[in-house]
Amino acid sequence: MYQLQQGVAVVRLDSPPVNSLGHALRQHIYAAVVEAQADAAVLGIVLMGTDKAFSAGADVSEFGKPAQTAFPILLDVVDRIDACTKPVVAAIGGVALGGGLELALSCHARVALSSAKLGLPEVNLGLIPGAGGTQRLPRIVGVAAAHALISSGAPQTAKQLENSGLLHQVLDASADSQGQDALLESACAAALALARSPAALPRARDNQPEAQAVHRFIEAQRAQLTPRQRKLPANLAVLDALAVSAGEFDAGMKTERALFLKLLGSPSAKALRYQFYAEREAVKLPAARQVAPRAVQAVGIVGAGTMGAGIAISVLDAGLRVILLEQDDAALQRGVARVSEHYAGRVLAGKLKATVAADNEARLLATTDWTKLAKVDLVIEAVFEDLAVKQEVFRKMDAHARAGAVLATNTSYLDVDAIADVTSRKQDVLGLHFFSPANVMKLMEVVRGQATSPDVLATGMALGKTLRKVPVQTGNAFGFIGNRIYNAYRKQCEFMLEDGALPEEVDAALEDFGFAMGPFKVADLSGLDIAWRMRKAQAPTRDVRERYVDILDTLCSLGRLGRKSGAGYYTYTNGKPAKATDAVVRQTIEATSQRRHITRQNLSAETIQRRALLAMANKAALLLNEGVAARASDIDVVMVQGYGFARWQGGPVFWAQQQDHDTLVRDLQTLADQSGYGFRVADLAPLLQRA
């Protein structure tokens, strides 16, 4: 069960790929500690992971299965270590996350490579640590530092935590190059030192935080929670668990466990686990398209506006070379300034080292010379959203990019095939739909054209992962996945304005459900004229029988273009919106209802939410049935990552799957009647199949 090295029992944790604490590994650790405790030749014990991971935490695939609760659960393992009369030292390299860090916290000492990453990410799954994290950590580092680590869910390096009291020794950067050998040597030395010391073994349970200070801190944090944060039960449970860390240890452990188990079966935790799996599935191509991607070391970006500059920053941050191309020197210099200002701001804020910023900027070549594109492996067009403009750019890209280079368009709505048609290499063309700001937003829709070759599609997905984004494959259809569903959502919200709701009522109801912003606040922020231009472009082909709400058109004709003009659906003072719409908007809405002979009725928040969600779920089913989305769960990843759908609500597909089937079908037919001609009720069967 272990290797004996000069009186130290070295217990190896080796369960690929990341030492998740599944039942087999828990059994191994528990039995090894019991055996070492009884072995007279053993003076101390070291728990040793791999170079990738001490342990990445719980095996989420066991959630809800018998293995999750089979003895020993993690709580049994940490209790066994805590009670051991021989010193147990955690040797931490790679990652120690969640249950992995809780395992380390139960040890009597922790030694780590400076590059190791430690964290408690349970809140991201709608949970709190359930094996002592909320009780041991504040007793070791203090309640404020413990709260910061637990509530953020974000890991920190051992170097960052060096002075926190969490780690007994952090090996310097030179030891990182020696890796596991240096780590093991230091951990064994620490175990022997503790064994030979006359002092009692250091245990977190023996530390007693000052109760009044803990109480004041917790109440202050509770008061600072935003309404949106309060909607996630885990945020409140973290504070409840930390609050009892100033009391008796075993009682605190019982409270933590009760809170953990309550959250485990909660709707928000189920939704967050669903999203966790959905995001990991989204980045996988179907088996038939799983081929090796083309190598990408240098990326060309045509267009240095806000989007182009944001894409450039993303690519530079990933360590790749960038050639940024513009039509004239003035536009080019504005683009370069955007990039430089971004990095200067990051350095000034202390979020990036000046040397890293300088290295990134050194990999940027700005030019107006199209022949420079011969040096790149992939070119991304990021110009104005106009088909003729993009086609002209692609003709030039086709002429100057080397053979085998991937040609990508950043279009949000346009036909990728129509863009590819103007080139001599349709097989090399695909869509890479970034979301603004491109260097911040995680979502990237990878659009497959009719002729896109499998290795080009694979290259797009691989680039997304290289850029640390969440790439989702989509078919080539107007608006792809995200904008198609958002349009259905927005349209239904506009219908509700005619039917009796006001913009602030719709926004409030949907924000209460969990959307980051209501649709009319989003429209004002984006600029109403953007949608107005698109509506006017589509007007010649719009079926006159379809229900069309012209409230936005009227507001634009009055010069109300949104936040940038000081008025849209809302009025703005110093950039801050009024809480309610003004008389102009109300009169416009009421006049529209009257002109269409609609008797306005009060719509409850529940009605508003349900109509919006039904519209999204119906459109999701249509996209799935049309093959635009490869998986139902991909749709939820898109809506959560790119459109402000609350992560703890799972997404419109997950929401639909939780509804009573007969009620869902009946309500969808009612929605079709309310929406009028052109609303197609989808076959929900494929959408409602749970994985």
Does residue 533 sit in the same domain as residue 439? no
CA distance 316 to 365: 11
Would residue 275 count as lying in a domain?
Answer: no
Average pLDDT over residues 30-51: 96
449 burial (CB, 10 Å; 0-12 / 13-18 / 19+) is buried
Q: Is the pLDDT of residue 245 over 80?
A: yes
What pLDDT band is residue 177 in, cutting at 50, 70 and 90?
Answer: low
CATH number at residue 201: 3.90.226.10
* Residue 480, CA distances (Å) to 15, 297, 475, 571 in order: 40, 28, 7, 32
Query: Cis link prior to 437 (omega < 30° from 0)?
Result: yes
Within a domain: 189: yes
Query: Would residue 102 count as lying in a domain?
Result: yes
Do 232 and 162 belong to one domain?
yes
pLDDT value for 540: 87
- Note down the domain range covering 446: 297-478
Instruction: Give the pLDDT confidence of 544-570 residue by residue, as tens digits.
Output: 899 999 999 999 999 999 999 999 999
Distance CA 194, CA 186 (A): 12
Q: Which CATH number is 538's domain given?
A: 1.10.1040.50
pLDDT band per the 50, 70, 90 thresholds, residue 173: low
Domain match, 586 and 640 both = yes
Please answer whether residues 52 and 194 qualify as being in contact, where contact means their C-beta atoms are separated by less than 8 angstroms.
no
635 located within any domain:
yes
DSSP state of 97: E
Kindly state whether residue 282 falls inside one of the protein's structural domains: no
Domain boundary among 209, 242, 264: 264
* pLDDT value of residue 69: 87
- Report whether 171 contacts 159 (CB < 8 A): no
Q: Is 102 a catalytic residue?
A: yes
Tokens encoding 610: 């349900």
Q: Given 35, 62, 102, 504, which residue is catalytic?
A: 102
Q: What is the pLDDT of residue 178?
A: 72
pLDDT in tens, 221-241: 999 999 889 989 999 999 999
What average pLDDT does range 2-29 have in this prediction? 95
Q: Which of 222, 241, 264 is the last residue of a domain?
A: 264
pLDDT over 90 for what percent of the chain? 88
The string of pLDDT tens digits covering residues 422-460 is 999 999 999 999 998 999 999 999 999 999 999 999 999
Percent of the residues in the chain that have a pLDDT greater than 70, as a whole number: 99
Q: Are residues 306 and 399 in the same domain?
A: yes
Q: What is the pLDDT of residue 569?
A: 96
Domain-located, residue 269: no
Instruction: List C-alpha distances in Å: 328 to 320, 331, 368, 469.
Output: 24, 6, 6, 31
Query: What's the CA gap between 131 and 136, in Å, rounded?
Result: 9
With vertex at residue 86, the alpha carbon angle to CA 82 and CA 92, rounded to the nearest 5 degrees, is 65
Same domain, residue pair 19 and 168:
yes
pLDDT of 174 over the 80 cut: no
Residue 285 lies in a domain: no
Verify that 462 and 520 share a domain, yes or no. no
> Which among 35, 62, 122, 281 is annotated as catalytic?
122
Q: Is 691 a residue whose pLDDT tops 60?
A: no
176 pLDDT more than 70: no
CA distance 21 to 27: 9
Interhelix angle 233-243/211-224, rounded to 10 degrees, is: 170
> Can you state the angle between helices 329-348 and 306-317, rounded to 10 degrees?
50
Mean pLDDT of the chain: 94
Please check whether residues 546 and 636 belong to one and the same domain: yes
pLDDT band at 690 (very low <50, low <70, confident <90, very high): low
Report the domain count for the chain.
3
Task: Indicate whether 130 and 259 sit together in one domain.
Answer: yes
pLDDT of residue 98: 96
The pLDDT tens digits for 591-640 are 999 999 999 999 999 999 999 999 999 999 999 999 999 999 999 999 99
Query: Alpha helix (H) ranges present in 11-86?
Result: 23-38, 66-69, 74-82
496/363 same-domain check: no
CATH code of the domain covering residue 315: 3.40.50.720
Tokens of 249: 């240890």
Token duo for residue 608: 């508003």
Statement to judge: residues 397 and 525 lie in one domain: no
Q: Are residues 466 and 494 in the same domain?
A: no
In one-letter notation, the amino acid at residue 200 is: A
Of 222, 243, 264, the position where a domain reaches its end is 264
Identify whether 122 is a catalytic site residue. yes
* Alpha-carbon separation of residue 604 from 185, 307, 501, 504 (angstroms): 66, 39, 9, 12
Residue pLDDT, tens place only, 101-144: 999 999 999 999 999 999 999 999 999 999 999 999 999 999 99
Residue 280 domain-assigned (yes or no)? no
User: Mind listing the pLDDT tens digit for each residue in 187-216?
Assistant: 999 999 999 999 999 999 999 899 999 999
Same domain flag for 388 and 469: yes
